Amino acid sequence: MVAYRIRDTPPSLVFGGHMRRGLLLNLISNIVFFVSGYALHFFLGNTMPPAAYGVVGTIITVLDFEYMFVSNGARQSVASEISRRRYAFRDVVGKTLAFQMIVVAFFFCVNFLGAPLFGIVLNDALLDRYFRIAAFLVVVNGLQTVLLGVNDGLQRFGTSALLSTFYPISKLGVIPLIIFVFRSDPVIGVEIGFLLAVVLTILLGCALLFARRGELRELQALDGDRRASERIPFRYVATHTLSFSFFFIMVSLVLSVDTLIVKAVVEPASMAGYYTGAMNFGKIAYYLLQAFSTIILPVVAKLVGEGRRDEAVSRTADLLLVAFVFILPICAVVSASSSDLLAAFYGPSFDVAAPALSCLAFSNFFMGITVILNMVLNSFGSSRFSDVLSIVSLVVVIPVFIIAARMFGITGIAVASVTCTGLAMLVTFLRVRQKVGHVMLRRTWIVFGANVALWLVVRLGFTYFGGALGTGAAGKGFELLALAAAYAFIYVAYLVVLFAAKVITVNQLRALGR
């Protein structure tokens, strides 16, 4: 049945998929990933000795830094090139995998051979064996990244979302069981559990690719028939992958370095805790927008590769409209009610971080849109702008953050954050307009204005009626439930107004990505 569909369907549609379905599934996948992460740490923190949990946290911190090079770059590069169809499919995958293994081998050696040095630097000789085991986590993570990129490039967004959902769920299932076996050394149990979860995900991904091997054969046959199908230069693979890696490293640093700066320069020390609490809610928008950047890169790259540039611009505009309609109001509500949210979740003392959260909620949205726009630019073959933006951001942001934190504390650094990310988004928009075309629809601007009004309404509402919504109630549980109910009501009312005004319609959502 699959082969029949391939023969009777235009090549441009074989791997097109439904963008709407892929976007929804990737949003769900991101939510599952982060919820399961909090659940796993809740379990580990309550079942492991504090010292052992601290070791796990140390290893995760080191791996998170290494994953910035391993988890981003290869996925976006292979997805982009498969979608463009400029080079032979097998050659693109093979050379991307080869370069990824070079990067992985470097970090494997750092962890495995440098394990004694980690023990010396971190003043814990027991870290040696833990980092040797952690070295293998980098290997399997690198393989999983390429596997996800291949599915993205083939427009199998449902498969990518399935694998991204399966991995965190398997972690929750496997790690507690493995820890039970390694009760005498739970850290090793956690590491083996992570390894097994990734290996199971890779096996599932390979099985799904094998089940659709007929489509891959047809794709390779098309490569053989097309004169334009060439071998991709290995040097291009390396520079393309590193360009993506460097860009996402910049994004990660901009979104996380402020926390370290607050810890280093702001007094009293408790301010770091307050800022961390604000940051936890501020990053919601960026996590959700990651689903958009995952989808838009291969979709737009495929259209550009087929010469359908106008449709690529239209698809980009549609996705931005959806992002502004459904994600921006979350930022507006969190920003406008920051004081009540922090008080309900952490306690009244966190009110000092309310202005910071009001800024960070939008800062992360701006950065998420910046990432989406840069993926569009890369799809149109304009990667140099992303490289320049990365360099300028790293040079400017860190000193600006330090000065702002020293002079104005956590509110100052949050204002600096939203200013820098806002400028980055604005500059990227201008570059997209120059290189790609107009991607901001009139309806998108209307939605932007509606969110400004939403922020004002919510701000006034929580200022004058916050007590009626539960703030200050006797029980924290009741307060959180009341706040959640208020948020749900506001969000639904906002969407009802937009749909009633026909700023966006159900038919437009159904048509998205077809």
What tens digit of pLDDT does each residue of 438-478 get?
A: 999 999 999 999 999 999 999 999 888 765 555 444 456 67
Name the residue with higher pLDDT: 512 or 92: 92
| Average pLDDT taken over every residue of the chain | 85
Widest pairwise Cα distance in the chain:
73
Alpha helices in 266-383 (DSSP H): 270-282, 284-305, 309-326, 328-336, 338-345, 354-379
Mean pLDDT across 44-51: 81
- What 8-state DSSP symbol labels residue 230? B
Cross-strand bridge partners of residue 230: 87
- Which pLDDT value is given to residue 274? 85
Distance CA 10, CA 142 (A): 33
Least confident span in 52-66, 400-414, 416-430: 52-66
Please write the tens of the pLDDT for every residue from 137-192.
Answer: 999 999 999 999 999 988 888 888 899 999 999 998 999 989 888 888 889 999 99
Whether residue 142 contacts residue 73, with contact meaning beta carbons closer than 8 Å, is answered with no
Out of 218-222, 225-229, 263-267, 287-291, the most confident range is 287-291
* Cis peptide, bond prior to residue 268, ω within 30 of zero: yes
> How many other C-beta atoms are found inside a 10 Å radius of the C-beta of residue 478?
12
The burial of 347, by beta-carbon neighbours within 10 Å (0-12 exposed, 13-18 middle, 19 or more buried), is given as exposed
| DSSP label at residue 503 | S
- What whole-number percentage of the chain has pLDDT above 70? 90
Range in 54-58, 178-182, 318-322, 402-406 the model is least confident about: 54-58
pLDDT for res 360: 94
Structure tokens at 41: 């740490």
Task: Identify the pLDDT of residue 422.
Answer: 95
Q: Which of 196-205, 284-293, 408-417 has the lowest mean pLDDT?
A: 284-293
Average pLDDT over residues 332-357: 89
Q: How far apart are CA 316 and CA 110, in angstroms?
A: 40
Condensed to tens digits (0 to 9), the pLDDT of residues 475-508 reads 566 778 888 899 999 999 999 999 998 888 887 7
pLDDT at 11: 35
Residue 281: predicted pLDDT: 86
Burial (CB < 10 A; 0-12, 13-18, 19+), residue 203, is: exposed
- Encode burial over 236-261: b for 16+ CB neighbours within 10 A, e otherwise: ebbebbbbbbbbbbbbebbbebbbeb
Handedness of CA 419, 423, 429, 430 (dihedral sign): positive
pLDDT at residue 503 in the model: 86
Say what the pLDDT of residue 6 is: 33
Return the pLDDT at 514. 55
- Reported as a pLDDT band with limits 50, 70 and 90, residue 304 is confident
Residue 211 has pLDDT above 70, yes or no: yes
Q: What's the per-residue H, E or C state across 250-274?
A: HHHHHHHHHHHHHHHHCCCCHHHHH
**Residues listed for the chain:** 514
Distance CA 466, CA 19 (A): 40
pTM: 0.84
For the record, the structure tokens of 205 come out as 């991904």
